[in-house]
Structures are given as C-alpha cells and as structure tokens.
Structure 1
Amino acid sequence: MADTTTNEAKISIKVFVDKVKKRVVYAEADHSFVDILFSLMTLPLGTIVKMLGKHADTKFEALGSLNNLYQSLKDIPESYFATEECKFMLLNPRSLSYDHCKNLKLKIDRTKPVKYFICESCRSKGYRTSCYYSICNKAICKICGGLMNTPHSFDSSICVGDGGVFVSDIGNFIVTDDFYVMPYSVAGIFRLLTDLGINDTSHLEEIKLDMDSEQMVFLLKIALSLDSPFTRLIFHRNNPIRTGLVVYGHGSTSDRSAFIKKEKSTCSNIVLEISLQKLTGKLLFAEAKEDFAEFLFGLLSIPLGTVVGTLMNGASSISCMDNIFKSISNMSVGRYLKSQDIKDMLLEPHFGQEYSSKNKLFPIKGTRTLLEVSMPNTSAANQKSQVLKDMLLKKRCTASYQLKDPRLNKQLLLQSSMFFVTNDLVISPSSSQLAMNTLNKLKVKLDDIEKYEISIGLEEVSNSKIKFFGLRLLKAALRSRSTLTSILEHHLKK
C-alpha cells in the first residue's frame, strides 16, 4: 500500500528548553503556527470536540463534560427533535470563519465544506424570488412541502491575500509555554528569561519540531487541559496525563431559597428536578424538560472566542486559551494582524447558528450566515477591506435565497419531552428503566433518595442571577466532569 502521509504539510518551530529544570521556556514560530493558534478562537465548541475526538491519543480528554454532551446529541433519536434539520444543525455548528481557516497550512479542522440544498419543484416553477435553501438534504420546503434535496452551489471562496491567514508573514513570533504570543524581539526574549529566573543561557537548548496536523491537534488537546503544553509535549509525552479537572462552585453566596421553589411561577422557567442521595448528599441525576436540554446542546454552537472573551472577559479558566485571546487583543493591526476586520473576527467571532434555542441564558444572538449577511455600508474606505468585498460578492450571488428556519415554533426539540441528565452531562430521553439502572450502578436504594425542584427564571435574559447560573454551568462543563454538582452544590446544601 502506498504511503499517503509523505506529502502531508508540516510546520517547523524551534523550541528552547531549560535543560536543568526540564521545562520549555518559549518557542519561536512563523505566521503558519500562530495562524492555527488564533484560528481556535473562531471554532464552535462542538467543532473542537469533534476535532479532538478524532485524535488517536486517548490518555486524557479535554473540555470536561462537553464530550459527553456532544455524544449525547449524536445518540438521541431524531424523533425527539422538532425536525431532522435541527439535529443536523446542532451536530454541525458552523464557523463564519470557515473559508478563512481553509487556507491554514495545516488542516486541523476536518469539517467538510457546507453543502446547500434547494427545492427543485419550486425552482422549476419559477419561485426564485422567494426560494429557501438549507444545509440539510432532509429539509421540507416551506412553500410546497417538497423535499429540499437538490444540490445548489454558491461561491464561497475567500481571498486572504499574501502571507498568513490572520497574521502577516514579515517576521517570527515568540510563543510562551502557556501560549502567550508576541512579536519576536531579542529584548522580549531577555525579559521572558529574566521573568523566569534564567540568567545562565548555557542552560538553554534548541529543539526543532516538525509538526503535522495530527501532532498539532495533540498539542492543542493538551493546551485545553494543562497550562504548559510545550513542556508536556517535550518532556512527558509518554507519561499518563492527569488532567486535574477543576470543580467549581465556591464563589457564590446566593440564598438557597432563591433557586429552590415548590410553588408555581407566572414567568417562563427552566425547571430541574434534582435527585440526591440522603446519606451522602451526592447528586445522582437530574430530570428536565426539553428547554434545559436545548440550552445545553446550544452551548456546542458557541465559538471559543465568544466563550473566552464576550462571556468570560478573558478568564475562562483555560489558561492557554485566555492567553491566546489576550495576545490577539494586544497585537497591533497592520504590521502583525492583517486588518482590523481580522482582529474583530478573532476577538468577537460570529455565533454562526442564526436559529438557536430560545432558552439560551446568555445575551448573545445568532448571526446570519455569510450568505445572508446584511448589506453593509459601501463607502470607499470600507471597500478597501477584502473581507467586506468577499461578503458583498456573496450577497449579490445569493440575494434571491434565504436560509430556511429548521425549528418548529422556534423549538429545536419537541415539547413535552423529558430528559435524564447525569452529573457529567450525559443526556438521554428519560425512562424509569434508565433511572433504576443508574441507581443500581451507584448502589443507591430508593429510600435513600430525596428530590428538589430548582427553577431558573427566563423572564429577563440579562438578569445577573440567570446569566451567572449559565456562566457557571458553561465554565464547569469546560473543565469538570461533575458539572451539575459544581453549579448546584451551594443551592442544595442543608
């Protein structure tokens, strides 16, 4: 069999290690490597879960409970979704920077290009001015009820110009062990060495790394769990990796009565019924309606940069990702970042699912795909932006089509569905057999169970208490496999 890997692209970086303390001090890399680090900010969490899940190394898992959440989404039958399109959309969150990332030297995101489908019947009847398109070939046409399974092409090419995708190619960059990126300078290196307490440069040794896409994904996998990914890669590659997952829930002094409510409420609520073990106070599982499951599944569509920047103000608890975000924020436009549009794209990546859950707890809105982006200001100054030109071109090519809303009455999941949620965010359609199997597995007797009802009001998405609940859940899901315990322990204490 022919070797299919010999021509695969590789990126070379120089890593400088402290031979005495066996740690990486910094790496020296060009735009190709930095482009990949920066591209992570544009990727939805679900895309990153898929990307890391395909890596062969299984010694550890990044992203806490989100792996279980994504697998649950795959396993739930389509009959529980409002339409087959809804499940497809949730399983395949799209980044609006996808066409830019296709130009990266290493293809770490193996997501297939978007395919578009229209209704052949409507097109043949000349309904061009009111046609819909879908990204799922099982969609039902809103006009005639036919199947939207006819492929249709739109021009989706993006011109990134000369040099890198996000950063220029005029020089090299310094990347610290915890992924802070800065333009290369001797003065910068000296400051870094001094800060690390290194005075004797004879302790330093240069190691060259030639990385293909699989090795790059492995490095990123480490960076999503540990604070020193280069050191782990160089010195501890063959050792079992213990992620030291964080358990959250020690920052709130909220009164338990503010969350536990037995009475009926006039506002819209997400209600959780929590089962605890009386003897230990351990959270066993939760049951919830489709609204809570929709909120959880919707987390997978949020870009990492939105999580780190917009939602968590650069303090996501994943140090390497926080440092990448900080690096982009501090990097100047023109000489290093290619344009202000690029910087905005990285710091405030678009939430690519226009049709998201109405039960989201965060004040972020779905953004239309590039095919439907509103016509922007066409002043001469703005016309100089290549990003803007590409968007305008796509708008002209697709002005007669609009994306079909895959939801039913704005619902992604069918109403009246009940779901069983474990501590580590495994979600399944609720059943008595599943509950009994769980109790048997945990060796808990029926008379050792107590239940609490927790109600989260949705009348004001901007309400600080509600947003705080959602942020704590998301933060715990990123790093913990005890997500529900992490966010509810203060509200369930006796």
Structure 2
Amino acid sequence: MADTQVSLKLLIHKNSQRVLYAEASKKFVDFLFNIFTLPLGEVIRLLKDEGMVGCLPRLYNSIEKLSDAYILSDQHKDFLLKPKVAIPGAQVPLLLPGDGSLKGTRSSYNFCFSCSRQFFREKVYCEAGSCTYCRNEINRLPSFKNPPSSSEEGYVEGMVTYLVLDDLEVKPMFITSFVTLLNEMNVKEVGSIEERVVDLGMHEGVKLLKASLQSKTVLTDVFLRDH
C-alpha cells in the first residue's frame, strides 16, 4: 500500500529564509511526477477551496450545483467533477486526498455496431463486454496492450537520492557537487545553511500542488511561509 507521508531533508538559507534545495527519495519524486497524470477536473476539485485563482473553481461549483435534470441521460456529472486518470497509474505515495479517483486506469471509447452508439467505458486492460444501451456485444476501440512490467513501483529508480530545487527541478544528487550548488545559488557562507527534516502529508501535498501552479519558490512557500 502506498504511503501517506514522506520525509524530506531541506537545505535552508537562514539569512534569506528560503529553501535552497531538498534531498528526496523516490517517494517524493514519484509524487511530483504523478501530478502530470491528474485530470484538470481533479486538480480543480482539490484546489477550489484552497484559494485557487481564476474562474475554474466557480465553473466547477456550477456543475456541482446543476440539477441532474439538465444532464443528458447517458452522462454523469462525476465524469467532469471526479474524472479518472486517463493513463495507467503508477503506485505512488497517497499525498492527495481522494475517493479512489486517482487510481490509474486505462479508459477507451467503444462502438456498438448493433445500435450505432459510441460511449466511454472505463476499463483496466480488459476486454470490452456488452453495450450499455442494447446489451449486445461491442467492439472496443482502440485495443490496448499491457505495458511492460517493472520490478519497482512508481516512476523513478529507488536506489538514488534526488535533488529537488525550490522551483521543483529534479535531478540525481550525484551529478553536481555541494560547493557547485552553493555557488550557483550565490551562497557564500556554509554557516548560513540550516538542515531541516520535514514530513509531507496530505495537507502539504495539496499546498504543494497549489504552489506549483502559482509560484517558482514552491518548497519555500509550503514549508517556510505557510507555517
């Protein structure tokens, strides 16, 4: 089962109170990469009560409040409000609240030659069954094959420590030296750096998702300015 909490080691510049970078395990990097699998509707659902800017939260709320009498009989509001991940999802830390809608599925369009209807069927690499409307056997479009299996879950290799910059740029730790990093960040004194271990749970996961859409100092915003 995926974890609900991940630890990070932050390197903080005490004078400017900013996060220089974080030393992270694969769990945190898997969580970051998994953001790109989130449907827009799921992102709005998670952030609409978090002060998200723009009009999409109001649009989301209007769909939520709209009576089912105005929705077509072969549609459902949850297709928009709680969309499923459209690609095979990796097993990643559960750092965003949900009702299971973040689990990876493979979805496809199906066509029934009996009643000439096309409809959306959510499946996980399984054969199409019967038509939703006439119950006759259907043909599945397109046909997906199982992806190659991996001995490790998630997206990245686990036997590596990753460097995550304040703007969420990710790279393996070994490709750059500590001194080089400090020079690139214009940090002159090693004594001005503080190490701090923080835990990232669902609260921080939502805050990080929001900050990643609004800021280029995500780690600083979430772990220093949000407390």
Give the Cα separation in 2 of the matches to 1:11 and 1:143. 48
After superposition, the Cα gap between the structure-2 partners of 1:220 and 1:89, relative to the gap in structure 1 and judged at 3 Å, is closer
Q: Is the 8 A contact 1:15 1:209 kept in 2?
A: yes
Aligned pairs for 1:248-397 (under 5 A) are: none
Q: Is the 8 A contact 2:5 2:95 kept in 1?
A: no
Aligned AA for 1:73? I
Picking from 54, 62, 73, the partner of 1:72 is 62
**Number of residue pairs matched by the alignment:** 195
Compute the displacement of 1:80 (Å).
2.5
Aligned AA for 2:62? S
RMSD of the TM alignment (CA)? 3.2
List per-residue Cα deviations over 1:11-62 (Å, max 9, x = no partner).
1110000011111100010110000101111111111112234xxxx6x523
After superposition, the Cα gap between the structure-2 partners of 1:172 and 1:48, relative to the gap in structure 1 and judged at 3 Å, is same
Does 2:108 align with 1:108? Answer: no
Does 2:167 align with 1:175? Answer: no
Compute the displacement of 1:214 (Å).
2.6
Compute the displacement of 1:79 (Å).
2.6
Which residue of 2 is the match for residue 24 of structure 1?
19
Which residue of 2 is the match for residue 83 of structure 1?
73
Give the Cα separation in 1 of the matches to 2:100 and 2:35. 17
Picking from 165, 179, 183, the partner of 1:194 is 183
After superposition, the Cα gap between the structure-2 partners of 1:74 and 1:160, relative to the gap in structure 1 and judged at 3 Å, is farther
Compute the displacement of 1:158 (Å).
8.2
TM-score of the superposed pair, with normalisation by structure 1:
0.35
Does 2:193 align with 1:204? Answer: yes
Compute the displacement of 1:111 (Å).
3.9
After superposition, the Cα gap between the structure-2 partners of 1:233 and 1:133, relative to the gap in structure 1 and judged at 3 Å, is closer
Higher relative contact order (CA 8 A, sep 6+): 2
Picking from 142, 147, 153, the partner of 2:133 is 142
Compute the displacement of 1:172 (Å).
0.9
Aligned pairs for 1:392-403 (under 5 A) are: none
Picking from 86, 95, 117, the partner of 1:96 is 86
Which residue of 2 is the match for residue 62 of structure 1?
52
Picking from 151, 165, 181, the partner of 2:154 is 165
List per-residue Cα deviations over 1:374-395 (Å, max 9, x = no partner).
xxxxxxxxxxxxxxxxxxxxxx
Aligned AA for 1:214? H
More strand by share: 2
Q: Is the 8 A contact 1:29 1:172 kept in 2?
A: yes
List per-residue Cα deviations over 1:88-132 (Å, max 9, x = no partner).
3222322223x524x1122425142589xxxxxxxxxxx9xx9x8
Q: What 5-or-longer segments of structure 1 have no aligned partner?
A: 1-7, 116-126, 145-156, 239-494
TM-score of the superposed pair, with normalisation by structure 2:
0.72
Runs of 4+ in 1 over 6 A off after TM superposition: none
Q: Is the 8 A contact 1:49 1:63 kept in 2?
A: no
Aligned AA for 1:83? S
List per-residue Cα deviations over 1:388-422 (Å, max 9, x = no partner).
xxxxxxxxxxxxxxxxxxxxxxxxxxxxxxxxxxx
Give the Cα separation in 1 of the matches to 2:4 and 2:191. 33
More helix by share: 1
The structure number with the bigger radius of gyration is 1
Compute the displacement of 1:84 (Å).
5.2
Compute the displacement of 1:186 (Å).
6.3
Which residue of 1 is the match for residue 223 of structure 2?
234
After superposition, the Cα gap between the structure-2 partners of 1:201 and 1:161, relative to the gap in structure 1 and judged at 3 Å, is same
Which residue of 1 is the match for residue 174 of structure 2?
185
Compute the displacement of 1:160 (Å).
5.8
Give the Cα separation in 1 of the matches to 2:218 and 2:56. 20
Give the Cα separation in 1 of the matches to 2:83 and 2:169. 27
In structure 2, the residue corresponding to 1:62 is in which secondary structure? coil
Compute the displacement of 1:188 (Å).
4.8
List per-residue Cα deviations over 1:247-268 (Å, max 9, x = no partner).
xxxxxxxxxxxxxxxxxxxxxx
Compute the displacement of 1:9 (Å).
3.4
Compute the displacement of 1:209 (Å).
0.8
Q: What 5-or-longer segments of structure 2 have no aligned partner?
A: 106-113, 123-130, 136-145
Q: Is the 8 A contact 2:11 2:22 kept in 1?
A: yes
Q: Is the 8 A contact 1:9 1:105 kept in 2?
A: yes
Q: Is the 8 A contact 1:107 1:213 kept in 2?
A: yes
Picking from 10, 20, 28, the partner of 1:33 is 28
In structure 2, the residue corresponding to 1:26 is in which secondary structure? strand
Compute the displacement of 1:83 (Å).
2.6
